[in-house]
Amino acid sequence: MNLKNFFSNIFDIKVETKEDEMKKFLIVGLGNIGEKYTNTRHNIGFKIIDEVAEEHNVSFTTETLGDIATFRFKGRTFILLKPNTYMNLSGKAVKFWLNKENIAIENLLVVTDDLNIDFGTIRIKAKGSDGGHNGLKDIQDKLATNKYPRFRFGVGANYSKGRQVDYVLGEWNKEETSLLIERLPTSAKIITSFGTAGLNNTMNEFNGK
């Protein structure tokens, strides 16, 4: 009997191996808490994470620094996190849950809005700058690296000079709302593909769609 089985049988506890840890993935949707932010462009990370949870029939519970939902799919464990720290302090929640669950940084995927790409366009990258995004900036600061996977969902830049904040904190218009219905299921597939097919295969399949 190996040590894992010994401790599991004697103490009725789950002892995770390195292999177990590599099959766990932390999927973080960025957004702001509160009803007034629910349908804003800046909260697309929350919206995509909610879509994943709904498709896999799991509910969120409020835990340390955020709302958490967990499901298993094709032998992988997906931990969904919606930080409750507000966008600008997202890094604290990300770092806490990576450490708590012993998840490797390459198994982290951060889902966020992006002004620099057209509405609905998808960009998945293994690393990159914060691009002026305060949520990504804080994550990079707390993790002391920009080398973590991120899934950027384009919200476009249809705003006049000096109106950027109003735009990202504004609600989706009717046309965007209609198109989101089509884009959200694809976004949910990206999440499970990341955990089962890997980052490179997921980028090849979904980038630019």
CB atoms under 10 Å from CB of 26, counted, come to: 23
32 is in an annotated binding site: no
The token pair at 192 is 């499970």
148 is in an annotated binding site: no
134 is in an annotated binding site: yes
57 is in an annotated binding site: no
Query: Which of the following is catalytic: 42, 47, 123, 183?
Result: 42
Place of tokens 């399949």: 205
Beta strands in the chain (DSSP E): 24-29, 61-63, 66-73, 76-83, 108-114, 122-125, 150-154
> Residue 21: which of 121, 104, 113 has the closest Cα?
104
User: How far does Cα 33 stand from its chain's mean position?
Assistant: 15
CB-based contact 92:8 (threshold 8 Å): no
Q: Does the annotation mark 42 as catalytic? A: yes
Which residues are tagged catalytic?
42
Q: Which residues are annotated as a binding site?
A: 37, 86, 88, 134
Q: Which residues are annotated as a binding site for tRNA?
A: 37, 86, 88, 134
